[in-house]
Amino acid sequence: MKYLICVFLTLTMPCWAVVSTSEENPQRSYLDTYPVLFPGDNRAKIRSAYQVALLELALSYSKYNFDVKPNGRDIHRARNHMLLEENQFVHILWTATTPELEENFFPVKIPVLRGLLGFRIPLVHADTPDILKFVSTPEDLKQLVAGQLVIWSDTKILRSNDIPVTNGSNFGALFHMLSIKRFDYFPRSIAEVYNDWSMFRALPIAIDKHIAIYYPNVMYFFVNKQNTFLHKEILDGLEKAIQNGSFEKLFHLYHAQNIEKANLRNRRILTLKNPLLPDQLPTHRPELWLDLINQ
């Protein structure tokens, strides 16, 4: 029966994807390799290269062997959440935290992007590169329309601040919508905006030079609630990487150049509220955060 199940599952997923890293099977061997699957295909691995590298860094300190790889399927976020709840085909997610996510999954409470996720640089249409030149307050943003993906928490955050939002059906569609002026600007994290612009540079899209939008936003790694094994190995590894400086070194390798390009000193920073933030954040540990506002 085990082999029949495995053959059936290979129609949709690799056979090794059924291996569990939860506490359901506590007998482990240092000789085995445990798959750690995240959603998406190789494109997702490229787009999330830093997160994958950080996860691999954390797990490199473990006595166990792990193989971090995409599960090969680009499916809807709700489906990925369901698979993570089952701890099958998805063993880990990284996303902006919310109270609902922390209730449903087991967060590794180390900010993956050190708070950088909350700093947003807008993409604008190349014909209107100065559309945000005279925007000085969040109130001014209410006169313009932002673009966001409907399933992203950013949509709820912007709308909770009474900022108009037009939603796209998928990530790539948003860039094409901006290129035909379906909305005025597309806020992207400093960690994302320059790579995004490069990927879609054939479209008439430009990077705004005038403002940055900031709202507190924290990305965590999330695992299945019962997967205390994987949670512990990631958390312990991240703590070791923080202590020996390799976390910060990796972060700067991927993000220092983008932070410099963002030139926040010469931008007006518009601060918004984030009603989706959980009450308990590791704000008592300053070593986990960047301070870009007071730099």
Q: How confident is the model at residue 43 (pLDDT cuts 50, 70, 90)?
A: confident
**DSSP E strand stretches across 59-141:** 65-70, 93-96, 106-108, 119-125
pLDDT at 32 over 80: yes
pLDDT at 18 over 70: no
Block residue for tokens 């900031």: 214
CB 220 within 8 A of CB 107: yes
DSSP readout, 178-231?
Answer: HHTTSSSEEEEETTTHHHHHHHTTTSSEEE-SSEEEE----EEEEE-TT-HHHH
pLDDT at 8 over 60: no
Integer Cα distance of 20 and 28 in angstroms: 11
Least confident piece of the model among 3-7, 136-140, 205-209: 3-7
Averaged pLDDT, 142-167:
95
Q: Enter the pTM of the model.
A: 0.86
181: tokens are: 């002026």
Block residue for tokens 């030149």: 133
> What's the chain's average pLDDT?
89
Integer Cα distance of 22 and 112 in angstroms: 22
Integer Cα distance of 290 and 295 in angstroms: 9
CB 41 within 8 A of CB 74: yes
pLDDT at 245 over 60: yes
Integer Cα distance of 87 and 226 in angstroms: 9
Strands 106-108 and 93-96, bridge-based pairing? unpaired
2 versus 97: the higher-pLDDT residue is 97
pLDDT in tens, 65-119: 999 999 987 777 888 999 999 998 999 999 999 999 999 999 999 999 999 999 9
